C-alpha cells in the first residue's frame, strides 16, 4: 500500500520494491514497497518488535531478504555503501574509553577506507564543520563517555554524516532521551535533511514527537507497510486497512491517538499513541 505525493518529482534515494523477509514462520516484511527522497525527513513508525531494526539492517546489507529489490540512488544495493550513514539503536560508550568527540567524528572519515591515514587540513575542516552543524563545538574536546545522552547523540550524528552520505539511518535515536533533548535532536535532524540534501530515515515506536517535522512516514505493522505523507497515512481508513480491523485516528492538542475499537487488542499499536476504549 503506497501513496505518492503529487509534488515528489525528485529521484528517490531509497526504493523498496516488493521486499519480503521472514524469520522462520514469522513474516517481518511481507511484500513491502516504499520510496524516500533527498531533503526529506521520513519516520519509520511501528511498535516494538515489529521489524524496524531488521528493515534498517536490510538497507545496510547486514540482513538478507528473501525476495524483492532494494535500490539506493537508483542502483541495486550490493555491499555496504559510502552513501549510507548509520546511527545504531544501541551504542554503549564506556566512560573509560579515552576518545574525544572530535576524534570519534573523524573516525567516520575512515569507515570506508582501508586503515587509518593522516588527517588532512580538509579532513579537519570537515570535522569542525560537522561538529558545528550538530551544535557540539562546546564539547568537541570532551571524552565521549562523559557526555549526556543528548550530547552523545549529536556526536554520533556528526560521525555518521562526515562521509557525506545521501541517506542517514537512525534507529530509535530518541528512545532514551529526555523530552527537551528529543525536541532538539528532532529539530536538528529536520534541519540536516533540509539543508544538506540528505534523506533522513529515523525509526521510532512513538510518532508524536516527529509530527511537526515528518515529511513522509513508513508505518509498519504485521509485516505490512503504509507509506506516504503523514496526512496520507495517519488516517483511519489507511491504518484500519493495514491493521485489518477498525481503528480511529484522533487529533488531540497537536498529538495523534490511534484508537482501537472496544474488544480489540491494542498490543500491536505503537505505545503512548493508543487509547483503548472499553
DSSP 270: P
Q: Which is nearer to Mg ion, 52 or 143 (CB)?
A: 52
- Name the 3-class secondary structure at 186: helix
| CB contact at 8 A, 67 and 225 | no
Write down the least CB distance from residue 28 to ligand ADP, Å: 5
Query: How many chain residues bind ligand ADP (CB under 6 A)?
Result: 10
Q: Which is nearer to ligand ADP, 22 or 116 (CB)?
A: 22
Q: Which stretch binds ligand ADP (CB under 6 A): 45-53, 69-77, 130-138, 234-242?
A: 45-53
Q: Which is nearer to ligand ADP, 54 or 236 (CB)?
A: 54
Tally of CA atoms within 13 A in the half-sphere of 24 that contains its CB: 1
Write down the least CB distance from residue 209 to ligand ADP, Å: 17
Write down the least CB distance from residue 47 to Mg ion, Å: 10
Cα-based distances in Å from 41 to 78, 101, 117, 196, 216: 24, 26, 34, 12, 7
Q: What share of the chain is helix, strand, coil (3-state, %, to 5)?
A: 30, 30, 40
Q: Which is nearer to Mg ion, 52 or 159 (CB)?
A: 52
Write down the least CB distance from residue 265 to Mg ion, Å: 21
- Residue 23 as a binder of ligand ADP (CB under 6 A): the answer is yes
Q: Name the binder of 50 from Mg ion, ligand ADP, none, CB < 5-8 A by kind.
A: ligand ADP
Q: In what order do the strands lie in the sheet with 224-229?
A: 84-87, 167-171, 199-204, 41-45, 216-221, 224-229
Query: How many chain residues bind Mg ion (CB under 5 A)?
Result: 2
Q: Which is nearer to Mg ion, 53 or 227 (CB)?
A: 53
User: Number of helices and strands (H, E) in the chain?
Assistant: 7, 13
Q: Using CB atoms, what's the residue nearest to Mg ion? A: 53
Query: Out of 12, 46, 108, 150, which residue is the one contacting ligand ADP (CB under 6 A)?
Result: 46
Per-residue binding string, ligand ADP, 49-68, x by CB under 6 A, is xxxxxx--------------
Neighbouring-strand partners of residue 199? 167
Q: Name the binder of 48 from Mg ion, ligand ADP, none, CB < 5-8 A by kind.
A: ligand ADP
Q: Name the binder of 28 from ligand ADP, Mg ion, none, CB < 5-8 A by kind.
A: ligand ADP
Neighbouring-strand partners of residue 227? 2, 218
**Exposed e or buried b for every residue in 92-106, given b needs 16+ CB within 10 A?**
ebeeeeeebbbebbb
**Exposed e or buried b for every residue in 109-141, given b needs 16+ CB within 10 A?**
beeeeeeeeeeeeeeeebbeebbebbebeebbe
Which 45-64 positions form the footprint of Mg ion (CB under 5 A)? Answer: 52-53
- Name the 3-class secondary structure at 123: helix
**Contacting residues toward Mg ion, per CB under 5 A:** 52-53
**Contacting residues toward ligand ADP, per CB under 6 A:** 23, 28, 46, 48-54
Amino acid at each position: 500500500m503506497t501513496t505518492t505525493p503529487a509534488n515528489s518529482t525528485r529521484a528517490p534515494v531509497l526504493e523498496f520494491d516488493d521486499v519480503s523477509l521472514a524469520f522462520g514462520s514469522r513474516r517481518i516484511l511481507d511484500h513491502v514497497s516504499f520510496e524516500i527522497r533527498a531533503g526529506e525527513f521520513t519516520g519509520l513508525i511501528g511498535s516494538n518488535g515489529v521489524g524496524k531494526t531488521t528493515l534498517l539492517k536490510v538497507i545496510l546489507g547486514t540482513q538478507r531478504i528473501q525476495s524483492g529489490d532494494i535500490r539506493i540512488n537508483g542502483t541495486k544495493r550490493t555491499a555496504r555503501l559510502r552513501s549510507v550513514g548509520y546511527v545504531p539503536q544501541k551504542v554503549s560508550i564506556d566512560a573509560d574509553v579515552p576518545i574525544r568527540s572530535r576524534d570519534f567524528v573523524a573516525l567516520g572519515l575512515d569507515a570506508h577506507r582501508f586503515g587509518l591515514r593522516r588527517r588532512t587540513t580538509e579532513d579537519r575542516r570537515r570535522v569542525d564543520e560537522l561538529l558545528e552543524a550538530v551544535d557540539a563545538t562546546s564539547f568537541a574536546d570532551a571524552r565521549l563517555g562523559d557526555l549526556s545522552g543528548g550530547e552523545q547523540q549529536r556526536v554520533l550524528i556528526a560521525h555518521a554524516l562526515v562521509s557525506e552520505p545521501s541517506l542517514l539511518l537512525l534507529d530509535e535515536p530518541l528512545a532514551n532521551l529526555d523530552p527537551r533533548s528529543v525536541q532538539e535532536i528532532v529539530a536538528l535532524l529536520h534541519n540536516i535533511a533540509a539543508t544538506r540534501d540528505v534523506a533522513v530515515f529515523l525509526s521510532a515506536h512513538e510518532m508524536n514527537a516527529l509530527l511537526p517535522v515528518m515529511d513522509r512516514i513508513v508505518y509498519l505493522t504485521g509485516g505490512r507497510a503504509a507509506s506516504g505523507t503523514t496526512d496520507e497515512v495517519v488516517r483511519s481508513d489507511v491504518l484500519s486497512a493495514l491493521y485489518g480491523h477498525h481503528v480511529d485516528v484522533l487529533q488531540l492538542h497537536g498529538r495523534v491517538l490511534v484508537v482501537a475499537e472496544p474488544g480489540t487488542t491494542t498490543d500491536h499499536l505503537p505505545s503512548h499513541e493508543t487509547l483503548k476504549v472499553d
